[in-house]
Structure 1
Amino acid sequence: MSAHDSLFTEQGDPTPASRLNHLEETTRLALAALDQAAALSDFSLSLARLEGPDPLLDLCLERLAGLLPFTTLGVMLVDEADSSFFMARCSPPSALPGLQAFVDQSIEDGLFAFALREKRAVLAPVAPPAAGGLPRSRHLLHVVTTASRTRGMFVAEMDADAPNLSEVTLSILSIILNNTAQALESLFLHQRIQAMNSSLKSEVACLTSSASELKADRDSQVRLISEKSSELHEAMGRLEEEVKERKKAEALLAALNQRLEAKVELRTSALFRKIAEMEAANKQLKQLERLKSSFLSSVSHELRTPLTSILGFAKLIAKDFERFFQPGSGSPLASKAERLLRNLDIVEKESERLTRLINDVLDLTRIESGKMPWRNEPLSVFDVVADALMAVGGRRENRPNVDVRLELPASLPTAQGDRDRVLQVLINLLDNALKFTMEGSVTVRASVDPDAMMLICVEDTGPGISPEETEKIFDKFHQHDRRDTLKDKPEGTGLGLAICKHIIDHHGGRIWMEHAPRGGSVFCLTLPLATGEE
C-alpha cells in the first residue's frame, strides 16, 4: 500500500442520498477554499500595512479550523538565519508542548523529512492511548512551500475516531497552505524591497543636502570676499581724500558689525543643523555596523567548511607523499620532494592561521551583536591560570630562556564570570607575552584591589609597547609594530585584544596596559568577586 493510501481512504455509500450529500459537502468545501484564497489575496494586496507574518498565520489557522475537525493547529516557519524550523503559531496556545513533542519525534523518525519531500498532506499513524485514559489522536503534517522555496510546516492534531478525509478536502487544504506560502513569500520580498528603498532614499537625501550646503557656503564666501574688498578700497580712498568722512566711515563700520552679527547668527543656526545631520548619520553608521556584523558572521561560517577541507587534504597529501612517493636521499628528485613537503607545510600553517582569524571574527561578531552565550558562575583563579598555562605549553617549550612565575596568594577569593571566556582572555595574554619575550620572565599575579574586584596581571620582560601604540592596542585589527628583532614573528589576527576587551567589559570589569618598571609590558584586568566573597 502506498503512503498516500495508508493515510487517507474515502468510504463510498451506494445510496443516492449519500452521493448527493457528498456532492453538497464537496461544493461547500470548494466555496470555502475560494473564500480563503480570496482572503489571503487581500493580505497580499495589503502587504504595506503588515509588520510581520502573524496576521497571515492567524487567518490561515482560523480558516483551517473551520474547514477540518482539528483539535490543535500550529504553523512552523523557517528561520532565515540558520534554516531551522520554529513554532510561530499554535491554537490553542496551551497545546504547544504536546505539538512540539510530536514535531521532535517526527524529526527523529523521518516523518518530518518525508512531509517536506511529498509537498502534500501526510497523516501520522494513530498514537497509542495516553496515560489516564485520554482519547487517542493522530497528527497531520503538510509543508508550506512555494515553487521555489519552503516557508514552513503546518502541524495539526485530530481525534483518531474522526471521519476519514476525502481527496477534495485534502486538495483544499493544500490550496490554502500554498496560498499562505505565496503570501508569506510576497511579504518577505516586500519587506526587503522596503528596507532597500528606505536606505537608498536616505543616502540620496544626504548627498543632495550636502551638495546644496556646500554650494551655498561657497557662494556666500565669494560674495563676502567681494563685498569686503570693495568696502576696504572705498574706506582707504575716503581716509586719503577727506578726514571729514570719518563719521560716515564709522557709521559704515557699525553697519558692517551688524551684518557680521547676522552672519554669526546664521552660521550658528547652520551649525545646529549640521549637528542634527551628524546624529542622523551616526544612527545610519550603527545600522551599517549591524549589517556588517551579520555579513561577517555569514561569510565566516561559509569559509569554515572549505578551510577545513583544505587543511585536512593538505595533511593527507603530505602524509601519503612521504609514505608512497618520496624518493631516497640520493635521488635527483629529493630536493624537489623536500620543496613540495615545505610547500604543503606552508599550506597547513596558513590554513590554520586563517581558521584562527575566522574564529576570532566569529567570536567578535557574536559578542558585538549580543548573540554570544554567557555563563555566570563562580570560578577559581588558580584553576583558570593553570588551564591557561597548559594551553600555551607549546609556546613555553619554544622559549627555554623564559621563566614563567606565579604569584597567587593562597587566600585568594573566588571570582565570578564565564569560565571559558575568562580562560580565553588569559590564554591570549600569556601567548602574547611568550611570543614577544625571547628571554627573561613572564609573571602572573592576582590579588583583590581596593574596589573589591579581582585583579589579575600578566607581566613580561619583552621589548614593550611604544607610548603612541598604548591607546590603540585594544582596537580591532591593530597589530604590534614588529621592528628589529620581531620581524620574524608570525603575524596574528589583530583581534585578540579587542575580543579580550569586549569579554572583560561584559563582566563589568576593565582591562588596560601599563609599562613595566624594568622594561616590558603589564596587562591587567579586573573581575567581580563571587557572591559572598566581597
Structure 2
Amino acid sequence: MEKRLRYFEESSRFILDTLELATSLGDCRESVNQLKSVFPILDDAEAKLAALIPFEAFTFYLVNEENNDFEHVRTQPVEMTRYAKDETEFLIDSGVFAWAVREKRPVVVTSRSKDRRFVLHVLSTRSRTRGMFVGTIADTRRISDIHLSLLSLLLLTTANAVESFYLYGMFRGKDREIEAMKGYRLLFESAFEGMEILDARGRIVDCNEAMCDMLESERAHLIGRFASHFLSGKEEDRSDDHDVFTEKETPREGEAELVSARGTVRRVYRREMPLFGEDRSFEGSVVSYRHITAGDTDDTGTRT
C-alpha cells in the first residue's frame, strides 16, 4: 500500500512538473520585435531544452532566406561543433535529415559510433520551414514520449519566434525604404534644376516640377516619352536607342538645347548619372538640366 501511495505521489508530482514546464515552453522570454539578431531566441530555446532533456550538445540549422539552404548557425558547447557538423553531414547524405524535415516530429537516430543518439526536429511554422534542431545525447539516456511531445511544443514556439524575427526585420526594412523614399521625393521635388529618371532605354519614368516647367508640359504627358525627343538636333540624330553606360564610365555631361512641348528652345547644361542593379547591369540614369544664361560658365570654367 505504501509503495502504491509513493508511486501515485511521484506520478502526481511528475504530472504537475510537466504541466508547469509545458506552460513555460509556450512563451519566448525575449521581445522579438526588439531583437537585433536571432541568437537570443536560440539562447532561450537551449535553456528550456536543457531543463527538458539532458542533451550533450545543441545544434541549430536555419534556412537561408535567399537560397533556401539549411545553414549551420551554431552548436553549444562550441567544442562539439566539428563533431555535430560531421554527423549531421552524414545524416544529410543518408537522407535522414530530409526525412526529419518531412516528419515534423522528433526523429531519434543512432550515431555512426553507436555511443550517442541524435534527436532531429524541424523548426516549422504553418507557412514554411525555418530550420532544424539536432540534439546530441548519450545512447544510455532514455527519453520519454511526454518529453518528446514537450520538445515539439518548445520547437514550434521557437520556429514561430524565428519567423516573427525575420518578419519584423522585413517590416523595419520597409519602414526605412519608405522614409528614404520620402526624403528622396522631398529633395527631388524641391530641386531647382530640372530632374529626370530614365529607364535603360532612355524613357522618362519620373521627373520633377522644375523639369515639367522646362518642357512646358504636365508630368503625366512626359512619363513614358523618350528623353531624346526633347533635345534639339536633326531628326535622324534623335535616336530612341539609349546609349548603354558601362560600369566604369563616368557621368556624361555637357551643353545641350532642350526643346519644350510648345517649341521653346532653352540652352541647358545636361548631366547624366548611370544607375546599376545588384548584378551590375545598367538599369537607367538620373539626369539633371540647368539653365544656361549669358555670362554663365560651364564646369570647365569656360564663359558662355
- Normalised-by-shorter TM-score class: 0.5 to 0.7
Cα shift at 1:82 = 1.6
Match of 1:139 among 112, 118, 121: 118
Counterpart of 1:176 in structure 2: which amino acid? L
* Contact 1:78–1:152 under 8 Å retained in 2: yes
Q: Which residue of 1 aligns with 2:71?
A: 86
Q: 1:110-129 residue pairs with structure 2 within 5 A?
A: 110-125=95-110, 127-128=112-113
Q: 1:35-184 residue pairs with structure 2 within 5 A?
A: 35-38=24-27, 40=28, 42-43=29-30, 46-125=31-110, 127-128=112-113, 136-162=115-141, 164-184=142-162
* Contact 1:58–1:89 under 8 Å retained in 2: no
Q: TM-score with structure 1 length normalisation?
A: 0.35
Deviations 1:446-494 (A, max 9, x none): xxxxxxxxxxxxxxxxxxxxxxxxxxxxx969xxxxxxxxxxxxxxxxx
Cα shift at 1:32 = 2.0
Q: 1:14-413 residue pairs with structure 2 within 5 A?
A: 15-38=4-27, 40=28, 42-43=29-30, 46-125=31-110, 127-128=112-113, 136-162=115-141, 164-212=142-190, 214=192, 292-293=277-278, 365=279
Cα shift at 1:200 = 1.2
Aligned counterparts of 1:165 and 1:15: Cα–Cα separation in 2: 24
Aligned counterparts of 2:155 and 2:125: Cα–Cα separation in 1: 9
SS in 2 for 1:70: coil
Please state which structure has a larger fraction of its residues in helix: 1
Q: 1:208 to 1:48 in 2, by over 3 A?
A: same
Alignment gaps of 5+ in structure 2? 194-208, 210-272, 284-304
Pick 1 or 2: higher relative contact order, CA cutoff 8 A, min separation 6: 2
Cα shift at 1:17 = 2.7
Q: Percent of pairs identical after alignment? A: 27
Alignment gaps of 5+ in structure 1? 1-13, 130-135, 219-281, 294-364, 369-474, 478-534
SS in 2 for 1:95: helix
Aligned counterparts of 1:30 and 1:160: Cα–Cα separation in 2: 27
SS in 1 for 2:105: coil
Q: 1:143 to 1:23 in 2, by over 3 A?
A: farther
Q: 1:48 to 1:98 in 2, by over 3 A?
A: same
Aligned counterparts of 1:196 and 1:76: Cα–Cα separation in 2: 27
Q: TM-score with structure 2 length normalisation?
A: 0.60
* Contact 1:64–1:173 under 8 Å retained in 2: yes
Please state which structure has a larger fraction of its residues in strand: 2
* Contact 1:77–1:86 under 8 Å retained in 2: yes
Q: 1:114 to 1:18 in 2, by over 3 A?
A: farther
Deviations 1:86-143 (A, max 9, x none): 11121101101111111111112221111111101110036545xxxxxx21111000
* Contact 2:117–2:137 under 8 Å retained in 1: yes
* Contact 2:25–2:153 under 8 Å retained in 1: no
